[in-house]
Amino acid sequence: MTQHQTKLDILEAGRRLYQNGYIVSSDGNVSARIDEDRVIATPTGLCKGTLKMEDLCICDMDGNLVSGRLKPSSEIGMHLFLYRERPDIKAVVHAHPPTATGFSVAGIPLTDCVLPEVIITVGSIPIAKYGTPGGPEISEPIRQYVKDYDAYLLENHGATTVGSDVMNAYFKMETMEHFAKILFVAKQLGGVNVLDNEQVGKLLQIRDRLGIKGPNPACDIPPSSPVTSQKGIPTVRTKSAGGTTPATGQKGAASNDTLVDEIARQVMKQLTRT
């Protein structure tokens, strides 16, 4: 892909993020790695939905401005961290999609095996602990997840997705928010039908046939199912995604369900009062 097309994709991703309400004002940032030493990034302080080609900037892997009249995003350090940790990542999108961010504020990772499309394209979405935006604190909590996941909720902050190109990373953001909306509604309606290990295994086979590259998606299967299938399908019980095995007595899927149920009850209670 040419540098010009990459810039066009960044502008398009920014426009879609803004139009879909995933960002407001000057929120969010998008970047793409164009070679070993250079990254195209959105600038700081501007609305990403109305950017022009000349607003984009190019920086090196230390965050120094190489080309452009504006400074790169104040969160460029998180992007560079992800590029260094995983050379296969070619683009990063950071936004604040409302429903998914609501889950991050509530401390609830999106780990249920519910939607085939999510399992195939994104998989489990963990929550990285809170870190102050604009500095190294925001990157360090992601370290434990970066090798195994392509989408991350950021506690009390928003979400970040990575991909093979700008639109690939952007569409993962769309998938995440869509999943969060459906999961929240399902909880309001009374429960979530979670796919079992065998069903997830078939979806992973489809993923392989489609040639989707990157970490294998992991998600939370029902407690009655084995931790992994005979083929070793990964779940959050084999690699942490914000919860732990119920046997440990620590926070896990059961407590997450309770939290979502309580949030749904409170929302419905307020709606019936109006």
pLDDT of residue 98: 98
- The number of folded domains in the chain is 1
> Which is nearest to 111 in space by CA: 199, 266, 237?
237
Amino acid at residue number 112: D
Domain boundaries, position 138: 1-274
Question: What is the CATH number for 182?
Answer: 3.40.225.10
Told to judge if 137 belongs to the known catalytic residues of this protein, a careful annotator would answer no
pLDDT of residue 263: 52
Q: Which of 75, 155, 174, 177 is catalytic?
A: 75
Q: Which long-range contacts (CB under 8 A, 24 or more apart) does 257-266 make?
A: 257/187, 257/192, 259/106, 259/107, 259/108, 260/106, 260/108, 260/183, 260/184, 260/187, 261/187, 263/106, 263/184, 263/187, 264/184, 264/187, 264/188
pLDDT of residue 236: 35
pTM over 0.75: yes
Q: pLDDT in tens for each of the 274 residues of the chain?
A: 899 999 999 999 999 999 999 999 999 999 999 999 999 999 999 999 999 999 999 999 999 999 999 999 999 999 999 999 999 999 999 999 999 999 999 999 999 999 999 999 898 899 999 988 877 888 999 999 999 899 999 999 999 999 999 999 999 999 999 999 999 999 999 989 999 888 988 998 898 898 887 676 667 776 654 434 333 434 333 332 333 333 333 333 334 455 455 555 554 555 455 4
C-alpha span between 27 and 47 (Å, rounded): 7
pLDDT of residue 272: 53
pLDDT of residue 250: 34
pLDDT of residue 191: 87
pLDDT of residue 216: 64
